């Protein structure tokens, strides 16, 4: 590899390290909040889970890496060293936004920062022509099925709430519409993913994945509370302190599977641009290096964000931590199978909110949640802006 390629690969692995550092809270916040493990024990277990994610990702075929590498921008518009400089601009924007939000203590998405970086650098390269757009027919299909699901959900929700007066009927119909639309929209998004392409599916599941995580966690927690309502709290907590070790490790495995692959896609793009690879196939050393980097980053942790995730959104008991991790992990499994780069941060944050909401809506500190959601919304445009400026500066300097 040439010197510039080595620098960009090193920067990409640094991003993976920062990703793990930034997202350490995702996998350990609940188990630290419930005091099942100390912070040091939690990050050690989580780092091991992140590395183990290499096995699961290899089995399903590193599909997320392929979405990042081939599904966001049109790489045919550039080649050679211009392409390598392009990826450097992507990484500068994504790392910059990660560090800004880490300093502010906000659990934003490193995954979406990377997608935003690709969009911003692509726009600086060739305008909107650089962004791969979806087939309009499939966009209409997606919207149609989402609307049908919402209508069906509204009918069911309204019917179940019909005896409680007009206000309850309206609320039931509204909640039913939201639930039906999310379920049908997610199914349609997964089914049409290859036609909607990477950016559109990323935006779709930027909205749907947190809602699915919230719903899964709410339902799992509600079922658990109902099944164990006659059991003594001391006995329940003893069992769930053990079970939370399993659920937290499971979530860590899925976190590693999901997030390490995004950088695999970036590094493989660089290797194609500089001529090291003739086709987009992720080498094993890239898989290993990315998982090692994210695992080390997770081990060193990001304690500012852990504080937000573990205590400021809602307080948790061991059974609630188990439900949040299990619900969040299931969402990541489904998206990894379809190769969709969703945010592990969004998923676990919303799962924690879903758990808290089973007690009462006021149990969730919605003021903190609102600031977190705003950070989610800003991630793609802000990282895109940073990467756009970075590539523009590189061009002005005559480097690309």
Q: Per residue in 10-68, pLDDT tens? A: 999 988 887 787 666 666 766 777 777 777 788 888 889 999 999 888 878 888 999 99
Q: Closest Cα partner for 266 from 10, 23, 3?
A: 10
pLDDT of residue 313: 47
Lowest mean pLDDT among 67-76, 249-258, 316-325: 316-325
- What integer pLDDT is reported at residue 303 of this predicted model? 54
Residues 6 or more apart whose CB falls under 8 angstroms from that of 292 comprise: 51
CA-closest candidate to residue 112, choices 136, 90, 83: 90
- Which pairs from 185-191 meet CB under 8 Å and 24+ separation? 185/142, 185/145, 185/146, 185/149, 186/212, 187/145, 187/149, 188/141, 188/142, 188/145, 188/146, 189/142, 189/340, 190/334, 190/338, 190/340
Tell me the C-alpha to C-alpha distance, in Å, between residue 224 and each of 33, 47, 67, 163, 237: 19, 28, 36, 27, 12
Measure the CA–CA gap between 198 and 73, rounded to whole angstroms: 9
Q: Give Cβ neighbours of residue 176 (< 8 Å, ≥ 6 apart).
A: 153, 154, 155, 156, 157, 158, 160
CA-to-CA distance for 253 and 278, rounded, in angstroms?
Answer: 31
At 389 the pLDDT is 96
Which of 74-83, 100-109, 177-186, 194-203 bottoms out in mean pLDDT, i.e. has the lowest?
A: 100-109
Indicate the DSSP class of residue 129. G
Is residue 398 classed exposed, middle or buried when 0-12, 13-18 and 19+ CB atoms within 10 A define those classes? Answer: exposed
Q: 320 vs 31, 223, 224, 238, 339, CA distance in Å?
A: 10, 11, 9, 13, 29
Residue 361 has pLDDT above 70, yes or no: no
pLDDT at residue 107, as a whole number: 63
Q: What is the mean pLDDT of the chain?
A: 85
DSSP state for residue 229 in the 8-state scheme: T
Question: What is the reported pLDDT for 90?
Answer: 95
Name the DSSP class of 131: B
Q: Which residues pair with 131 in a beta bridge?
A: 73
**Quick one: what percent of the chain has pLDDT higher than 70?**
88
What residues have CB less than 8 Å from 206, skipping those under 6 apart?
109, 112, 342, 343, 346, 376, 380
Q: Quote the pTM value.
A: 0.86
Residues 316/309, Cβ–Cβ less than 8 Å: no
Q: How far apart are CA 188 and CA 340, in angstroms?
A: 13
pLDDT score of 400 more than 80: no
> pLDDT-derived band of residue 184, with 50, 70 and 90 as boundaries?
very high
Whether the CA torsion 360, 363, 367, 370 is positive or negative: it is negative
Tell me how far CA of residue 345 lies from CA of 23, 105, 114, 188, in angstroms: 7, 13, 14, 23
pLDDT for position 104: 76
Counting residues of the chain whose pLDDT is more than 90, the rounded percentage is: 36
- pLDDT at position 264: 95
pLDDT at 345 over 90: no
Question: Distance (Å, rounded) from C-alpha 29 to C-alpha 75?
Answer: 38
Residue 281 to residue 283: CA distance in whole angstroms:
6
Band (pLDDT 50/70/90 cuts) for residue 148 is: very high
Write down the pLDDT at residue 26.
61
């Amino acid at each position: 590899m040439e010197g510039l390629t080595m620098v960009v690969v090193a920067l990409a692995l640094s991003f993976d390290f920062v990703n793990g550092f930034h997202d350490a809270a995702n996998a350990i916040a609940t188990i630290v909040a419930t005091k099942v493990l100390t912070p040091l024990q939690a990050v050690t277990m989580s780092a091991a889970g992140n590395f183990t994610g290499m096995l699961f990702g290899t089995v399903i075929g590193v599909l997320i890496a392929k979405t990042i590498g081939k599904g966001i921008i049109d790489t045919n518009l550039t080649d050679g060293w211009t392409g390598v400089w392009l990826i450097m601009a992507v990484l500068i924007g994504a790392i910059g936004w990660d560090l800004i939000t880490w300093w502010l203590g906000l659990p934003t998405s490193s995954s979406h920062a990377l997608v935003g970086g690709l969009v911003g650098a692509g726009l600086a390269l060739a305008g909107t022509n650089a962004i791969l757009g979806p087939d309009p027919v499939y966009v209409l299909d997606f919207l149609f099925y989402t609307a049908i699901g919402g209508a069906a959900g509204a009918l069911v929700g309204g019917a179940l709430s019909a005896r409680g007066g007009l206000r309850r009927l309206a609320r039931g119909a509204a909640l039913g519409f939201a639930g039906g639309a999310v379920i049908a929209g997610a199914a349609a998004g997964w089914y049409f993913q290859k036609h909607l392409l990477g950016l559109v599916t990323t935006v779709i599941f930027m909205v749907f994945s947190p809602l699915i995580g919230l719903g899964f966690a709410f339902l799992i927690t509600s079922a658990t509370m109902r099944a164990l309502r006659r059991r003594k709290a001391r006995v329940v907590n003893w069992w769930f302190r053990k079970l939370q070790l399993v659920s937290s490790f499971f979530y860590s495995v899925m976190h590693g599977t999901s997030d390490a692959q995004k950088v695999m896609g970036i590094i493989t793009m660089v290797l194609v641009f500089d001529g090291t690879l003739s086709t987009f196939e992720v080498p094993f050393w890239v898989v290993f290096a990315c998982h090692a980097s994210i695992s080390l980053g997770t081990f060193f942790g990001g304690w500012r964000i852990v504080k937000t995730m573990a205590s400021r959104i809602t307080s948790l008991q061991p059974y609630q931590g188990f439900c949040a991790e299990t619900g969040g992990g299931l969402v990541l499994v489904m998206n990894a199978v379809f190769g969709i780069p969703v945010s592990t941060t969004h998923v676990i944050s919303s799962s924690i909110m879903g758990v808290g909401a089973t007690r009462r809506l006021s149990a969730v500190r919605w003021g903190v949640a609102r600031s977190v959601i705003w950070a989610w919304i800003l991630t793609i445009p802000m990282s895109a802006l940073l990467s756009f400026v970075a590539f523009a500066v590189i061009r002005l300097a005559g480097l690309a």
